[in-house]
Amino acid sequence: MNDADITVYPVPAKSSELKMDISVESASDVRLSVFDISGTEVAVVFAGHLSAGNYSYGLSGNLNIGVYFLRLHTGTDQKVARFVIK
Protein backbone atom coordinates (compact mmCIF):
# COMPACT_ATOMS: atom_id res chain seq x y z
CA MET A 1 0.00 0.00 0.00
CA ASN A 2 1.36 3.43 -0.93
CA ASP A 3 0.20 5.51 2.04
CA ALA A 4 3.05 8.03 2.28
CA ASP A 5 5.77 9.78 0.32
CA ILE A 6 8.95 11.63 1.23
CA THR A 7 11.28 14.15 -0.45
CA VAL A 8 14.60 15.45 0.94
CA TYR A 9 16.38 18.49 -0.56
CA PRO A 10 18.83 19.97 -1.37
CA VAL A 11 21.31 17.11 -1.57
CA PRO A 12 24.05 17.56 -0.56
CA ALA A 13 23.25 20.15 2.11
CA LYS A 14 24.40 21.55 5.41
CA SER A 15 22.27 20.34 8.35
CA SER A 16 20.66 23.75 8.73
CA GLU A 17 19.65 23.85 5.03
CA LEU A 18 18.02 20.41 4.80
CA LYS A 19 14.29 20.33 4.06
CA MET A 20 11.99 17.31 4.28
CA ASP A 21 8.57 17.18 2.67
CA ILE A 22 6.22 14.34 3.49
CA SER A 23 2.82 13.40 2.18
CA VAL A 24 0.43 11.28 4.22
CA GLU A 25 -2.61 9.90 2.36
CA SER A 26 -4.68 9.09 5.44
CA ALA A 27 -4.60 10.03 9.11
CA SER A 28 -2.11 7.89 11.01
CA ASP A 29 0.63 7.77 13.60
CA VAL A 30 3.85 8.89 11.94
CA ARG A 31 7.53 8.68 12.86
CA LEU A 32 10.13 10.58 10.82
CA SER A 33 13.64 9.50 11.86
CA VAL A 34 17.23 10.02 10.72
CA PHE A 35 19.68 7.10 10.65
CA ASP A 36 23.42 7.15 10.03
CA ILE A 37 25.16 4.81 7.61
CA SER A 38 25.57 2.15 10.34
CA GLY A 39 21.80 2.06 10.94
CA THR A 40 21.84 3.92 14.24
CA GLU A 41 18.95 6.32 14.79
CA VAL A 42 20.54 9.75 15.35
CA ALA A 43 17.47 12.02 15.37
CA VAL A 44 13.70 11.96 15.50
CA VAL A 45 12.30 14.78 13.38
CA PHE A 46 8.65 14.09 14.20
CA ALA A 47 6.69 11.47 16.10
CA GLY A 48 2.95 11.77 16.51
CA HIS A 49 -0.41 11.67 14.81
CA LEU A 50 -0.95 13.48 11.50
CA SER A 51 -4.07 14.04 9.45
CA ALA A 52 -3.95 13.37 5.72
CA GLY A 53 -1.96 16.09 3.96
CA ASN A 54 1.45 17.51 3.09
CA TYR A 55 3.96 18.59 5.72
CA SER A 56 7.41 20.21 5.66
CA TYR A 57 10.14 19.89 8.26
CA GLY A 58 13.66 21.16 8.79
CA LEU A 59 16.44 19.45 10.68
CA SER A 60 17.18 20.89 14.11
CA GLY A 61 20.66 20.22 15.40
CA ASN A 62 23.81 19.42 13.51
CA LEU A 63 24.80 16.20 11.82
CA ASN A 64 28.40 15.35 10.99
CA ILE A 65 29.45 15.22 7.35
CA GLY A 66 28.31 11.94 5.84
CA VAL A 67 25.53 9.85 4.36
CA TYR A 68 22.22 9.50 6.21
CA PHE A 69 18.81 7.96 5.70
CA LEU A 70 15.47 9.54 6.51
CA ARG A 71 12.76 7.01 7.31
CA LEU A 72 9.08 7.85 7.25
CA HIS A 73 7.04 5.20 9.03
CA THR A 74 3.24 5.23 9.14
CA GLY A 75 0.88 2.57 10.37
CA THR A 76 0.74 0.94 6.92
CA ASP A 77 3.76 2.19 4.97
CA GLN A 78 7.46 2.93 5.23
CA LYS A 79 9.60 5.07 2.94
CA VAL A 80 13.34 5.75 3.08
CA ALA A 81 15.27 8.58 1.43
CA ARG A 82 19.06 8.90 1.31
CA PHE A 83 20.76 12.27 1.79
CA VAL A 84 24.25 13.68 2.23
CA ILE A 85 25.43 16.29 4.73
CA LYS A 86 28.39 18.30 3.51
User: Which stretches of the chain score pLDDT less than 70?
Assistant: 1-2
Tell the burial category of 4 from Cβ atoms under 10 Å away from its Cβ (0-12, 13-18, 19+). buried
State the pLDDT at residue 61: 80
Can you give the length of the chain in residues?
86
State the pLDDT at residue 3: 80
Considering the entire predicted model, what is its pTM? 0.91
Residue 38 DSSP class: T
Query: Could you give the domains of the chain?
Result: 4-85 (2.60.40.3080)
Report the C-alpha gap between 50 and 66 in whole angstroms.
30
